[in-house]
Amino acid sequence: MSKQQRDALNRMFRNLPFSIEGDPAVQRAAMEAALTAAPLPPDVTVTEGTLGGIPVVQVDVDGVDTSRTLLHFHGGVYVLGSARSSVGLAAGLGRHAGVRVISVDYRLAPEQPYPAAVEDALAAYKGLLANTAESRIAVSGESAGGGLAAALQLRLKEEGLALPAASVLLSPWTDLTLSGRSLTGKASVDPSVLTAEGLKTRAYDYLGGADPRNPEISPVFGDLSGLPPMLIQVGSHEILLDDALRLAATAAAHDVDVKLEVTAGVPHVFQAFAEVLDEGKAALASIGGFLRAHLADASTD
């Protein structure tokens, strides 16, 4: 990554017109406008629909294998964001992995606290599983969506349901007790809208009185044994760095085939900025290779 690329991205992050603090309705609208402002490539088709009764957005890139699906969960600290706002990143994931991506519009706090998001994730996954073999399904998510993708797998294991073939977690928020040292240790270099105080506010909204150590809320405290291969990506300049590191350590301790990729000097969910950041392009290429290696295709029929 050139210093010019990093400096430009940091400036863009520091000038984003939304915050994770303040009135959720106001910040949702500002975040949606900011993240959907750039036009999508002409070979990307976006279709709104439902899956298992849950609103979703399907993202297809011309030429991908539509028999394989990446079920994606957007970020936004469980209070902001939408499936529509994550389409740009979803398209990049789909393009590099050669698969269809379905982004889930799970319910948001504080109006719908835990377990609403997990229940919506489960319903959407079951809807997909009804017509797609688990060997052709992977799950992914960024930030809170990464934590939700991990939580979904714990719920699937608990209920004895078929697990996906793999998971990809981008800068996942996995500890809502907010005990990671990087929350303060990386605060001076993290240019994103994430702050320790903002995360504290939104964790309170999402918890709704639930125990933050519940593994479905904070997967870093869960029994991850039996989960499928997992790829975790994070930047070294993130206040959520420890959430990713500790989840990877927990997965490894529980004999999960886990791959951790820490990219130096980059901020939160840097993959979404692959058009202006070389490391973002490299990260998407790595994700693509990982998913291609683990997802079955039509030739296995």
Contact 293, 285 (CB under 8 A): no
Q: Is 268 a catalytic residue?
A: yes
Among residues 85, 103, 143, 218, the one annotated as catalytic is 143
275: left (phi over 0), alpha (psi -120 to 50) or beta: alpha
Amino acid letter at 166?
Answer: A
**Cα-trace Rg, the chain:** 17
73 Cβ contact list (under 8 Å, min separation 6): 103, 104, 106, 121, 139, 140, 141, 142, 144, 145, 146, 148, 149, 152
Among residues 237, 238, 286, 294, the one annotated as catalytic is 238
7 burial type by CB count under 10 A (0-12 exposed, 13-18 middle, 19+ buried): exposed
Q: Rounded distance, CA 4 to CA 6, Å?
A: 5
Q: Is 275 a catalytic residue?
A: no
Closest CA to 220 of 257, 185, 177: 177
Q: Is 167 a catalytic residue?
A: no
Among residues 74, 96, 237, 268, the one annotated as catalytic is 268
Enzyme catalytic residues: 143, 238, 268
